[in-house]
Amino acid sequence: MGRLVVVSNRVGPMKDTGKAGGLAVALVDALTSSGGLWFGWSGKISEEGTFGPFQQQKTKSVQLVQIDMNQADHDSFYAGYANRTLWPVLHYRLDLAVFDRAFENGYRHVNERFASRLHPLLQQDDFVWVHDYHFMPLAATLRQMEVKVPIGFFLHIPFPAPEVLAALPNAGALIRTMLAYDVIGFQTSRDAANFRRFVVDELGGTKGAGGVVKLQDRQVLVKAYPIGIDAEAFAQFPATPDAQRNSARLAKQLAGRRQIVGVDRIDYTKGLPERFRAFARLLEDYPENQGQVSLMQVAPPSRAELDAYIDIRRELEGLTGHVNSRFSQLDWTPIRFLARAFPRRVLAGIYRSSHVGLVTPLRDGMNLVAKEYVAAQAPEDPGVLVLSRFAGAAEGMPEAISVNPYSDEDVARGLQRALTMPLDERRARWQPMFDRLCREDAKNWSSSFVADLMASRREVGASLTAA
Ligand code: ADP
Protein backbone atom coordinates (compact mmCIF):
# COMPACT_ATOMS: atom_id res chain seq x y z
CA MET A 1 0.00 0.00 0.00
CA GLY A 2 1.38 3.39 -1.03
CA ARG A 3 1.41 6.59 0.93
CA LEU A 4 -1.78 8.64 1.21
CA VAL A 5 -1.48 12.34 0.42
CA VAL A 6 -4.42 14.48 1.51
CA VAL A 7 -4.92 17.97 0.15
CA SER A 8 -7.50 20.22 1.81
CA ASN A 9 -7.88 23.93 2.40
CA ARG A 10 -7.30 23.64 6.12
CA VAL A 11 -4.99 21.04 7.64
CA GLY A 12 -5.38 19.18 10.92
CA PRO A 13 -5.56 19.21 13.84
CA MET A 14 -4.07 15.74 14.31
CA LYS A 15 -5.51 15.33 17.79
CA ASP A 16 -9.14 15.68 18.78
CA THR A 17 -9.05 19.07 20.48
CA GLY A 18 -12.77 18.93 21.16
CA LYS A 19 -13.41 21.22 18.20
CA ALA A 20 -12.25 18.98 15.37
CA GLY A 21 -15.10 17.79 13.21
CA GLY A 22 -15.70 14.24 12.05
CA LEU A 23 -13.80 15.00 8.88
CA ALA A 24 -10.50 15.67 10.61
CA VAL A 25 -10.97 12.54 12.72
CA ALA A 26 -11.66 10.39 9.66
CA LEU A 27 -8.75 11.78 7.71
CA VAL A 28 -6.30 11.42 10.58
CA ASP A 29 -7.36 7.83 10.86
CA ALA A 30 -6.83 7.15 7.16
CA LEU A 31 -3.50 8.99 7.19
CA THR A 32 -2.10 7.18 10.21
CA SER A 33 -3.09 3.76 8.90
CA SER A 34 -1.20 4.19 5.61
CA GLY A 35 1.37 6.78 6.65
CA GLY A 36 0.96 10.00 4.82
CA LEU A 37 1.25 13.63 4.03
CA TRP A 38 -1.40 16.29 4.67
CA PHE A 39 -1.00 19.40 2.59
CA GLY A 40 -2.93 22.68 2.71
CA TRP A 41 -3.20 26.29 3.70
CA SER A 42 -1.84 27.29 7.10
CA GLY A 43 -4.74 29.70 7.61
CA LYS A 44 -2.15 32.50 7.74
CA ILE A 45 -1.67 35.50 5.52
CA SER A 46 1.96 36.25 4.83
CA GLU A 47 3.28 38.91 2.53
CA GLU A 48 6.74 37.36 2.35
CA GLY A 49 6.44 36.06 -1.16
CA THR A 50 3.30 34.56 -2.61
CA PHE A 51 3.58 31.54 -0.37
CA GLY A 52 5.34 31.76 2.93
CA PRO A 53 7.72 29.16 4.31
CA PHE A 54 6.55 25.58 4.56
CA GLN A 55 5.53 24.64 8.05
CA GLN A 56 6.20 21.00 8.59
CA GLN A 57 5.12 19.03 11.55
CA LYS A 58 5.61 15.32 11.97
CA THR A 59 3.19 13.36 14.09
CA LYS A 60 3.97 9.65 14.04
CA SER A 61 4.05 8.74 10.39
CA VAL A 62 2.08 11.75 9.18
CA GLN A 63 3.74 14.84 7.83
CA LEU A 64 1.79 18.10 7.82
CA VAL A 65 2.82 20.66 5.24
CA GLN A 66 1.12 24.02 5.45
CA ILE A 67 1.73 27.04 3.29
CA ASP A 68 0.70 30.66 3.69
CA MET A 69 -1.18 32.79 1.22
CA ASN A 70 -0.66 36.45 0.51
CA GLN A 71 -3.52 38.91 0.95
CA ALA A 72 -4.31 39.21 -2.76
CA ASP A 73 -4.52 35.43 -3.20
CA HIS A 74 -6.62 35.10 -0.08
CA ASP A 75 -9.03 37.75 -1.33
CA SER A 76 -9.47 36.40 -4.86
CA PHE A 77 -9.17 32.66 -4.19
CA TYR A 78 -10.62 32.07 -0.73
CA ALA A 79 -12.91 35.01 0.05
CA GLY A 80 -13.55 35.47 -3.69
CA TYR A 81 -14.03 32.53 -6.04
CA ALA A 82 -14.34 29.80 -3.39
CA ASN A 83 -16.74 31.55 -1.02
CA ARG A 84 -18.49 34.18 -3.12
CA THR A 85 -18.78 32.23 -6.37
CA LEU A 86 -18.55 28.46 -5.97
CA TRP A 87 -20.15 28.21 -2.50
CA PRO A 88 -23.40 29.96 -3.50
CA VAL A 89 -23.60 28.39 -6.98
CA LEU A 90 -23.06 24.85 -5.70
CA HIS A 91 -25.72 25.49 -3.03
CA TYR A 92 -28.18 26.58 -5.76
CA ARG A 93 -27.99 30.27 -4.73
CA LEU A 94 -27.34 31.97 -8.05
CA ASP A 95 -28.91 35.12 -6.58
CA LEU A 96 -25.98 35.47 -4.14
CA ALA A 97 -23.14 34.50 -6.48
CA VAL A 98 -20.54 37.06 -7.57
CA PHE A 99 -19.03 36.48 -11.01
CA ASP A 100 -15.74 38.31 -11.27
CA ARG A 101 -12.93 37.56 -13.69
CA ALA A 102 -10.31 38.52 -11.06
CA PHE A 103 -11.72 35.91 -8.65
CA GLU A 104 -11.59 33.24 -11.34
CA ASN A 105 -8.00 34.10 -12.24
CA GLY A 106 -7.00 34.07 -8.55
CA TYR A 107 -8.58 30.65 -8.13
CA ARG A 108 -6.65 29.19 -11.05
CA HIS A 109 -3.46 30.88 -9.88
CA VAL A 110 -3.67 29.51 -6.31
CA ASN A 111 -4.45 26.02 -7.62
CA GLU A 112 -1.33 26.24 -9.79
CA ARG A 113 0.73 27.41 -6.82
CA PHE A 114 -0.51 24.62 -4.62
CA ALA A 115 0.19 22.07 -7.36
CA SER A 116 3.72 23.37 -7.91
CA ARG A 117 4.45 23.24 -4.16
CA LEU A 118 2.97 19.77 -3.82
CA HIS A 119 4.63 18.30 -6.91
CA PRO A 120 8.20 17.95 -5.53
CA LEU A 121 6.84 16.27 -2.38
CA LEU A 122 5.12 13.46 -4.27
CA GLN A 123 6.57 9.96 -4.49
CA GLN A 124 5.99 7.29 -7.11
CA ASP A 125 3.70 5.02 -5.10
CA ASP A 126 1.60 7.83 -3.54
CA PHE A 127 -2.08 8.25 -4.04
CA VAL A 128 -3.55 11.70 -3.65
CA TRP A 129 -6.94 12.59 -2.17
CA VAL A 130 -8.04 16.18 -2.81
CA HIS A 131 -10.88 17.72 -0.81
CA ASP A 132 -13.58 20.15 -1.68
CA TYR A 133 -14.52 23.05 -3.89
CA HIS A 134 -11.32 25.02 -3.26
CA PHE A 135 -9.34 22.60 -5.40
CA MET A 136 -11.52 21.37 -8.24
CA PRO A 137 -8.84 21.92 -10.95
CA LEU A 138 -5.87 20.71 -8.88
CA ALA A 139 -5.47 17.32 -10.59
CA ALA A 140 -5.48 18.83 -14.08
CA THR A 141 -2.61 21.10 -13.03
CA LEU A 142 -0.71 18.19 -11.48
CA ARG A 143 -1.19 16.14 -14.67
CA GLN A 144 0.36 18.97 -16.67
CA MET A 145 3.38 18.47 -14.43
CA GLU A 146 3.45 14.79 -15.51
CA VAL A 147 2.14 13.48 -12.18
CA LYS A 148 0.93 9.94 -12.90
CA VAL A 149 -0.19 8.68 -9.48
CA PRO A 150 -3.91 8.07 -8.80
CA ILE A 151 -5.68 11.27 -7.75
CA GLY A 152 -9.16 11.33 -6.24
CA PHE A 153 -11.49 14.19 -5.35
CA PHE A 154 -14.29 14.45 -2.82
CA LEU A 155 -16.80 17.29 -2.86
CA HIS A 156 -18.16 17.98 0.63
CA ILE A 157 -20.90 20.33 -0.57
CA PRO A 158 -23.73 19.73 -3.06
CA PHE A 159 -23.23 19.41 -6.79
CA PRO A 160 -26.23 21.16 -8.36
CA ALA A 161 -28.36 20.24 -11.33
CA PRO A 162 -26.63 21.11 -14.64
CA GLU A 163 -29.36 23.71 -15.33
CA VAL A 164 -28.10 25.65 -12.28
CA LEU A 165 -24.37 25.10 -12.75
CA ALA A 166 -24.55 26.21 -16.39
CA ALA A 167 -25.05 29.78 -15.09
CA LEU A 168 -21.46 29.82 -13.79
CA PRO A 169 -19.26 31.45 -16.43
CA ASN A 170 -16.80 28.86 -17.79
CA ALA A 171 -18.52 26.03 -15.92
CA GLY A 172 -17.81 23.64 -18.80
CA ALA A 173 -14.06 24.34 -18.65
CA LEU A 174 -13.97 23.92 -14.88
CA ILE A 175 -15.84 20.61 -14.87
CA ARG A 176 -13.72 19.37 -17.74
CA THR A 177 -10.57 19.87 -15.65
CA MET A 178 -12.12 17.59 -13.02
CA LEU A 179 -11.95 14.66 -15.43
CA ALA A 180 -8.21 14.57 -14.67
CA TYR A 181 -9.17 12.83 -11.40
CA ASP A 182 -9.50 9.05 -11.33
CA VAL A 183 -12.26 8.91 -8.72
CA ILE A 184 -14.74 11.70 -7.94
CA GLY A 185 -16.81 11.29 -4.80
CA PHE A 186 -20.00 13.09 -3.77
CA GLN A 187 -22.15 13.09 -0.65
CA THR A 188 -25.29 11.69 -2.27
CA SER A 189 -26.35 9.69 -5.30
CA ARG A 190 -28.23 12.79 -6.52
CA ASP A 191 -25.02 14.87 -6.56
CA ALA A 192 -23.17 12.10 -8.40
CA ALA A 193 -26.02 11.83 -10.93
CA ASN A 194 -25.96 15.62 -11.46
CA PHE A 195 -22.23 15.46 -12.20
CA ARG A 196 -22.66 12.60 -14.69
CA ARG A 197 -25.49 14.47 -16.36
CA PHE A 198 -23.32 17.58 -16.69
CA VAL A 199 -20.55 15.55 -18.34
CA VAL A 200 -23.01 13.95 -20.76
CA ASP A 201 -25.31 16.90 -21.53
CA GLU A 202 -22.87 19.81 -21.40
CA LEU A 203 -19.52 18.25 -22.34
CA GLY A 204 -20.64 15.52 -24.72
CA GLY A 205 -19.30 12.62 -22.64
CA THR A 206 -20.89 9.20 -22.21
CA LYS A 207 -21.85 6.99 -19.29
CA GLY A 208 -20.07 3.70 -18.69
CA ALA A 209 -20.93 0.86 -16.31
CA GLY A 210 -20.90 1.27 -12.52
CA GLY A 211 -21.07 5.07 -12.41
CA VAL A 212 -18.12 5.68 -14.75
CA VAL A 213 -18.16 8.67 -17.11
CA LYS A 214 -16.06 8.84 -20.24
CA LEU A 215 -14.83 11.75 -22.28
CA GLN A 216 -12.21 11.28 -24.99
CA ASP A 217 -9.34 9.34 -23.38
CA ARG A 218 -10.59 9.80 -19.80
CA GLN A 219 -12.60 7.35 -17.71
CA VAL A 220 -13.57 8.50 -14.26
CA LEU A 221 -15.40 6.70 -11.48
CA VAL A 222 -18.16 8.99 -10.18
CA LYS A 223 -19.79 7.71 -7.02
CA ALA A 224 -21.56 8.67 -3.78
CA TYR A 225 -19.62 8.20 -0.54
CA PRO A 226 -21.92 9.67 2.14
CA ILE A 227 -19.69 11.02 4.90
CA GLY A 228 -20.24 9.62 8.38
CA ILE A 229 -19.40 10.65 11.93
CA ASP A 230 -17.60 8.86 14.72
CA ALA A 231 -20.99 7.63 15.95
CA GLU A 232 -19.74 5.46 18.78
CA ALA A 233 -17.67 8.30 20.25
CA PHE A 234 -20.66 10.64 20.01
CA ALA A 235 -22.86 8.10 21.74
CA GLN A 236 -20.37 8.04 24.63
CA PHE A 237 -19.98 11.82 24.96
CA PRO A 238 -23.20 12.53 26.90
CA ALA A 239 -21.88 10.32 29.73
CA THR A 240 -18.66 12.35 30.13
CA PRO A 241 -18.44 14.65 33.19
CA ASP A 242 -18.22 17.74 30.97
CA ALA A 243 -21.41 16.88 29.13
CA GLN A 244 -23.24 15.85 32.30
CA ARG A 245 -22.37 19.06 34.12
CA ASN A 246 -23.75 21.11 31.26
CA SER A 247 -26.83 18.89 30.80
CA ALA A 248 -27.63 19.38 34.49
CA ARG A 249 -27.43 23.17 34.08
CA LEU A 250 -29.74 22.95 31.09
CA ALA A 251 -32.21 20.67 32.86
CA LYS A 252 -32.42 23.14 35.74
CA GLN A 253 -33.08 25.98 33.36
CA LEU A 254 -35.74 24.00 31.43
CA ALA A 255 -37.52 23.00 34.65
CA GLY A 256 -39.38 20.11 33.04
CA ARG A 257 -40.22 21.95 29.82
CA ARG A 258 -39.10 20.67 26.46
CA GLN A 259 -36.47 22.00 24.11
CA ILE A 260 -35.93 21.98 20.36
CA VAL A 261 -32.29 22.40 19.37
CA GLY A 262 -30.59 23.78 16.26
CA VAL A 263 -26.80 23.77 15.85
CA ASP A 264 -25.29 25.38 12.76
CA ARG A 265 -22.62 27.75 11.57
CA ILE A 266 -24.23 31.09 10.70
CA ASP A 267 -24.61 30.64 6.97
CA TYR A 268 -27.36 31.50 4.49
CA THR A 269 -27.53 27.85 3.37
CA LYS A 270 -28.67 26.74 6.81
CA GLY A 271 -32.16 28.26 6.60
CA LEU A 272 -31.91 29.95 10.01
CA PRO A 273 -34.34 32.87 9.56
CA GLU A 274 -36.84 30.45 8.00
CA ARG A 275 -36.35 28.17 11.00
CA PHE A 276 -37.04 30.95 13.52
CA ARG A 277 -40.20 31.87 11.61
CA ALA A 278 -41.29 28.23 11.55
CA PHE A 279 -40.86 28.05 15.32
CA ALA A 280 -43.05 31.17 15.71
CA ARG A 281 -45.57 29.43 13.44
CA LEU A 282 -45.53 26.40 15.77
CA LEU A 283 -46.41 28.67 18.70
CA GLU A 284 -49.23 30.25 16.70
CA ASP A 285 -50.71 27.15 15.08
CA TYR A 286 -50.31 24.89 18.13
CA PRO A 287 -50.63 27.33 21.08
CA GLU A 288 -50.46 24.53 23.63
CA ASN A 289 -46.67 24.77 23.11
CA GLN A 290 -46.53 28.34 24.43
CA GLY A 291 -44.81 28.35 27.80
CA GLN A 292 -43.87 24.68 27.27
CA VAL A 293 -41.43 24.34 24.37
CA SER A 294 -38.42 26.52 23.57
CA LEU A 295 -35.94 26.70 20.71
CA MET A 296 -32.24 26.81 21.49
CA GLN A 297 -30.16 27.84 18.49
CA VAL A 298 -26.42 27.40 18.86
CA ALA A 299 -24.61 29.11 16.01
CA PRO A 300 -20.97 30.13 15.89
CA PRO A 301 -20.28 32.96 13.43
CA SER A 302 -18.41 31.92 10.30
CA ARG A 303 -16.76 33.82 7.43
CA ALA A 304 -17.57 36.99 9.34
CA GLU A 305 -15.77 39.10 6.75
CA LEU A 306 -18.47 38.45 4.14
CA ASP A 307 -21.43 40.86 4.02
CA ALA A 308 -24.01 38.12 3.47
CA TYR A 309 -22.96 36.58 6.78
CA ILE A 310 -23.14 39.83 8.74
CA ASP A 311 -26.64 40.46 7.38
CA ILE A 312 -27.89 37.05 8.42
CA ARG A 313 -26.66 37.42 11.96
CA ARG A 314 -28.43 40.77 12.26
CA GLU A 315 -31.59 39.27 10.86
CA LEU A 316 -31.45 36.44 13.40
CA GLU A 317 -30.93 38.84 16.28
CA GLY A 318 -33.92 40.86 15.07
CA LEU A 319 -36.12 37.78 14.72
CA THR A 320 -35.14 36.51 18.16
CA GLY A 321 -36.13 39.86 19.68
CA HIS A 322 -39.37 39.91 17.74
CA VAL A 323 -40.49 36.40 18.67
CA ASN A 324 -39.39 36.75 22.28
CA SER A 325 -41.11 40.08 22.83
CA ARG A 326 -44.30 38.67 21.34
CA PHE A 327 -44.47 35.31 23.15
CA SER A 328 -42.30 35.49 26.31
CA GLN A 329 -43.86 34.74 29.67
CA LEU A 330 -42.56 35.65 33.12
CA ASP A 331 -40.70 32.36 33.46
CA TRP A 332 -40.29 31.27 29.83
CA THR A 333 -38.32 32.65 26.86
CA PRO A 334 -39.20 31.09 23.50
CA ILE A 335 -35.89 31.45 21.61
CA ARG A 336 -32.39 31.36 23.02
CA PHE A 337 -29.83 32.30 20.41
CA LEU A 338 -26.24 31.50 21.40
CA ALA A 339 -23.84 32.84 18.78
CA ARG A 340 -20.85 30.84 19.96
CA ALA A 341 -19.07 27.50 19.62
CA PHE A 342 -19.02 24.70 22.20
CA PRO A 343 -16.67 21.74 22.63
CA ARG A 344 -18.10 18.60 21.04
CA ARG A 345 -18.70 16.88 24.38
CA VAL A 346 -20.80 19.80 25.59
CA LEU A 347 -22.70 19.82 22.29
CA ALA A 348 -23.46 16.13 22.77
CA GLY A 349 -24.95 16.94 26.18
CA ILE A 350 -27.11 19.68 24.62
CA TYR A 351 -28.30 17.25 21.92
CA ARG A 352 -29.27 14.69 24.54
CA SER A 353 -31.17 17.23 26.64
CA SER A 354 -33.22 18.30 23.61
CA HIS A 355 -36.44 16.53 22.66
CA VAL A 356 -36.25 17.54 19.03
CA GLY A 357 -33.24 18.09 16.74
CA LEU A 358 -34.24 20.68 14.14
CA VAL A 359 -32.02 20.59 11.04
CA THR A 360 -33.51 22.64 8.23
CA PRO A 361 -30.87 23.76 5.71
CA LEU A 362 -32.18 25.11 2.43
CA ARG A 363 -29.40 23.04 0.85
CA ASP A 364 -26.57 21.08 2.46
CA GLY A 365 -23.96 18.62 1.19
CA MET A 366 -24.57 16.22 4.07
CA ASN A 367 -25.16 17.92 7.46
CA LEU A 368 -23.29 16.22 10.24
CA VAL A 369 -25.38 17.83 12.97
CA ALA A 370 -28.33 15.62 11.96
CA LYS A 371 -26.13 12.55 12.49
CA GLU A 372 -24.59 13.83 15.72
CA TYR A 373 -28.04 14.57 17.18
CA VAL A 374 -29.19 10.99 16.54
CA ALA A 375 -25.94 9.46 17.82
CA ALA A 376 -26.17 11.40 21.10
CA GLN A 377 -29.71 10.27 22.02
CA ALA A 378 -30.50 8.00 24.96
CA PRO A 379 -31.60 4.64 23.48
CA GLU A 380 -34.38 4.19 26.05
CA ASP A 381 -35.87 7.65 25.46
CA PRO A 382 -34.61 9.11 22.18
CA GLY A 383 -35.53 12.51 20.78
CA VAL A 384 -36.87 13.05 17.28
CA LEU A 385 -34.98 14.42 14.28
CA VAL A 386 -36.85 16.89 12.06
CA LEU A 387 -34.80 17.08 8.87
CA SER A 388 -34.88 19.17 5.72
CA ARG A 389 -35.46 17.15 2.57
CA PHE A 390 -32.69 19.26 1.01
CA ALA A 391 -29.92 18.07 3.34
CA GLY A 392 -27.74 15.31 1.91
CA ALA A 393 -28.31 13.46 5.19
CA ALA A 394 -31.98 12.98 4.23
CA GLU A 395 -30.99 10.33 1.66
CA GLY A 396 -29.68 8.01 4.37
CA MET A 397 -32.12 8.90 7.19
CA PRO A 398 -35.62 8.04 5.96
CA GLU A 399 -36.83 7.54 9.56
CA ALA A 400 -36.44 11.26 10.34
CA ILE A 401 -39.45 13.55 9.96
CA SER A 402 -38.84 15.08 6.56
CA VAL A 403 -39.82 18.72 6.06
CA ASN A 404 -39.66 21.44 3.42
CA PRO A 405 -37.58 24.21 5.04
CA TYR A 406 -39.10 26.88 2.79
CA SER A 407 -42.56 26.27 4.27
CA ASP A 408 -43.06 27.48 7.84
CA GLU A 409 -46.36 25.56 7.99
CA ASP A 410 -44.72 22.31 6.98
CA VAL A 411 -41.88 22.70 9.49
CA ALA A 412 -44.35 23.66 12.26
CA ARG A 413 -46.42 20.56 11.41
CA GLY A 414 -43.28 18.39 11.53
CA LEU A 415 -42.31 19.88 14.90
CA GLN A 416 -45.75 19.25 16.34
CA ARG A 417 -45.61 15.66 15.14
CA ALA A 418 -42.20 15.23 16.77
CA LEU A 419 -43.34 16.81 20.04
CA THR A 420 -46.38 14.53 20.28
CA MET A 421 -44.74 11.31 19.09
CA PRO A 422 -45.23 8.30 21.41
CA LEU A 423 -42.16 6.61 22.90
CA ASP A 424 -42.49 3.36 20.94
CA GLU A 425 -42.54 5.25 17.62
CA ARG A 426 -39.56 7.38 18.69
CA ARG A 427 -37.61 4.22 19.47
CA ALA A 428 -38.68 2.49 16.27
CA ARG A 429 -37.44 5.45 14.22
CA TRP A 430 -34.23 6.03 16.17
CA GLN A 431 -32.80 2.50 16.30
CA PRO A 432 -32.31 1.86 12.56
CA MET A 433 -30.80 5.34 12.12
CA PHE A 434 -28.35 4.76 14.97
CA ASP A 435 -27.37 1.30 13.67
CA ARG A 436 -26.75 2.75 10.22
CA LEU A 437 -24.63 5.60 11.68
CA CYS A 438 -22.42 3.04 13.44
CA ARG A 439 -22.03 0.93 10.31
CA GLU A 440 -21.51 3.83 7.90
CA ASP A 441 -19.22 5.89 10.11
CA ALA A 442 -16.36 8.25 9.32
CA LYS A 443 -13.80 5.45 9.09
CA ASN A 444 -15.97 3.49 6.72
CA TRP A 445 -16.33 6.61 4.54
CA SER A 446 -12.61 7.24 4.19
CA SER A 447 -11.66 3.61 3.78
CA SER A 448 -14.21 3.03 1.00
CA PHE A 449 -13.01 6.10 -0.90
CA VAL A 450 -9.35 5.14 -0.47
CA ALA A 451 -10.05 1.56 -1.57
CA ASP A 452 -11.63 2.78 -4.83
CA LEU A 453 -8.79 5.23 -5.36
CA MET A 454 -6.22 2.49 -4.93
CA ALA A 455 -8.11 0.25 -7.32
CA SER A 456 -8.06 2.93 -9.99
CA ARG A 457 -5.15 2.65 -12.35
CA ARG A 458 -4.18 5.62 -14.36
CA GLU A 459 -3.39 4.84 -17.97
CA VAL A 460 0.14 5.98 -18.67
CA GLY A 461 0.28 8.99 -20.90
CA ALA A 462 -3.43 9.78 -20.69
CA SER A 463 -3.62 13.30 -19.45
CA LEU A 464 -6.14 16.01 -19.78
CA THR A 465 -4.94 19.55 -19.88
CA ALA A 466 -6.81 22.38 -18.25
CA ALA A 467 -9.30 23.57 -20.80
P1 ADP B 1 -21.01 22.59 7.82
O2 ADP B 1 -19.85 21.69 7.49
O3 ADP B 1 -21.68 23.23 6.65
O4 ADP B 1 -20.68 23.61 8.89
P5 ADP B 1 -22.16 20.22 9.14
O6 ADP B 1 -23.45 20.08 9.87
O7 ADP B 1 -21.89 19.16 8.15
O8 ADP B 1 -22.16 21.67 8.48
O9 ADP B 1 -20.95 20.22 10.16
C10 ADP B 1 -20.89 21.17 11.17
C11 ADP B 1 -19.95 20.69 12.26
O12 ADP B 1 -19.65 21.81 13.09
C13 ADP B 1 -20.57 19.63 13.14
O14 ADP B 1 -19.61 18.65 13.46
C15 ADP B 1 -21.00 20.41 14.39
O16 ADP B 1 -20.93 19.67 15.58
C17 ADP B 1 -20.00 21.54 14.42
N18 ADP B 1 -20.65 22.73 15.01
C19 ADP B 1 -21.67 23.43 14.52
N20 ADP B 1 -22.04 24.40 15.37
C21 ADP B 1 -21.22 24.32 16.43
C22 ADP B 1 -21.08 25.04 17.66
N23 ADP B 1 -21.87 26.06 18.00
N24 ADP B 1 -20.10 24.66 18.50
C25 ADP B 1 -19.30 23.63 18.18
N26 ADP B 1 -19.39 22.91 17.05
C27 ADP B 1 -20.33 23.25 16.20
Torsion angles phi and psi, residue 296, rounded to 5: -110, 120
Class of domain 231-440: alpha beta
Q: Establish whether residue 174 lines the binding site of ligand 1, counting it when its CB lies within 6 angstroms of any ligand atom.
A: no
**Measured in angstroms, how far is the CA atom of residue 241 from the centroid of ligand 1?**
22
Residue 163 pLDDT > 70: yes
The residue whose CA has the least distance to atom 4 of ligand 1 is 265
pLDDT at 57: 65
- To the nearest whole number, what is the mean pLDDT of the chain? 91
pLDDT at 47: 76
Q: What percent of the chain has pLDDT over 70?
A: 92
**Measured in angstroms, how far is the CA atom of residue 284 from the centroid of ligand 1?**
30
Torsion angles phi and psi, residue 168, rounded to 5: -75, 120
pLDDT tens string 64-78: 999 999 999 999 999
Contact 353, 378 (CB under 8 A): no
Compute the chain's Rg from CA coordinates.
Answer: 23
The residue whose CA has the least distance to atom 21 of ligand 1 is 341
The amino acid present at 187, given as its one-letter code, is Q
Residue 461 pLDDT > 50: no
Q: Establish whether residue 269 lines the binding site of ligand 1, counting it when its CB lies within 6 angstroms of any ligand atom.
A: no
pLDDT tens string 185-213: 999 999 999 999 999 999 999 999 999 99
The reply to whether the predicted model has a pTM over 0.85 is: yes
Q: Taking the CA atoms of 9, 15, 18 and 22 in sequence, report the sign of the dihedral they define.
A: positive
Residue 267 a catalytic site member: no
Instruction: Work out the end-to-end distance of the chain between its first and last CA atoms, rounded to an integer number of angstroms.
Output: 33
Give the mean pLDDT of 287-313. Answer: 87
Contact 33, 65 (CB under 8 A): no
**Measured in angstroms, how far is the CA atom of residue 129 from the centroid of ligand 1?**
23
We find that the CATH architecture of domain 4-228+442-465 is 3-Layer(aba) Sandwich (3.40)
Give the mean pLDDT of 210-239. Answer: 94
Q: What percent of the chain has pLDDT over 90?
A: 76
Task: Give the mutation target among 187, 263, 354, 374 for probing the ligand 1 site: most ligand atoms within 8 A of CB.
Answer: 263
- Are 4-228+442-465 and 231-440 equal in CATH topology? yes
Lowest mean pLDDT among 38-52, 169-183, 338-352, 442-456: 38-52
pLDDT tens string 88-139: 999 999 999 999 999 999 999 999 999 999 999 999 999 999 999 999 999 9
pLDDT at 220: 97
Domain residue spans in the chain? 4-228+442-465, 231-440
The residue whose CA has the least distance to atom 12 of ligand 1 is 21
Q: Establish whether residue 372 lines the binding site of ligand 1, counting it when its CB lies within 6 angstroms of any ligand atom.
A: yes
pLDDT at 61: 83
Q: Establish whether residue 362 lines the binding site of ligand 1, counting it when its CB lies within 6 angstroms of any ligand atom.
A: no
Residue 156 a catalytic site member: yes
Residue 81 pLDDT > 60: yes
pLDDT at 13: 72
- CA neighbor of 11 nearest in space, from 47, 46, 36: 36
Give the mean pLDDT of 263-284. Answer: 96
pLDDT tens string 377-401: 999 999 999 999 999 999 999 999 9
